[in-house]
Amino acid sequence: MKISFNINGTPQEVDADGNTPLLWVIRDVLDLKGTKFGCGKAACGACTVHVNGEAVRSCSYAAKFAEGKNITTIEGLATGDGLHPVQQAWMEEIVPQCGYCQPGFMMATAALLEKVPNPTDQDIDDNIVNICRCATYYRMRKAIHRAAEIKNANT
Site residues for another protein, window 71-110 (CB under 8 A)?
A: 73-75, 78, 83, 87, 90-91, 94-103, 106, 108-109
Query: Per CB under 8 A, does 36 bind another protein?
Result: yes
- Considering only 3, 7, 71, 111, the residue that binds another protein (CB under 8 A) is 111
Q: Which stretch binds another protein (CB under 8 A): 4-12, 13-21, 147-155?
A: 13-21
Q: Which stretch binds another protein (CB under 8 A): 2-10, 49-57, 145-153?
A: 49-57
The continuous run of DSSP H or E covering 108 comes out as helix 102-115
Query: Per CB under 8 A, does 131 bind another protein?
Result: yes
Rg (CA), the chain: 15
Query: Per CB under 8 A, does 67 bind another protein?
Result: no
For 7-39, letters b (16+ CB in 10 Å) and e give bbeeebebebeeebbbbbbbbeebebebbbbbe
Closest CA to 53 of 127, 6, 114: 114
